[in-house]
Amino acid sequence: MHQKFKELLHQYKLEVFHTEHDKRSVQEITTECLHLTEDVLKQKVHFRFHELPDKSRAEVVNLINDYVREAVLPPVVEKLVMRQVVLEKRLNALLHLTEKILEALSATPVAGKT
């Protein structure tokens, strides 16, 4: 049983490694991340002021908003999305490992029982 668990853990580690480092997997993850990043960045944020701002203040707020949305936000969102997608892949591999362990446990006869 111990050897079976070692093999299953090794398979899990290989699966995670290939998911994170295999060229095709990395390209798939990158493509998925770019699509998700685009979707997130397309969502608009609206400012709600308690009182109407004057024209100069509105221009400053719009400049800051444009700068953040075009320069600061895309790399941050891309990194967050990349991390999320990689963690989802790892979680799927972990679920697969758990299923294999449970199958191995259920298939093993209990000692002393007939």
Query: What residue ranges do the domains of the chain occupy?
Result: 2-107
Is pTM beyond 0.85? Reply is no
> Is pLDDT of 51 > 80?
no
* pLDDT at residue number 112: 55
One-letter-per-residue 3-state SS of the chain: CHHHHHHHHHHHHHHHHHHHHCHHHHHHHHHHHHHHHHHHHHCCCCCCCCCCCCHHHHHHHHHHHHHHHHHHHHHHHHHHHHHHHHHHHHHHHHHHHHHHHHHHHHHCCCCCCC
| pLDDT greater at residue 37 or residue 49 | 37
7-44 residue pLDDT tens: 988 999 988 888 888 888 888 888 998 888 888 888 87
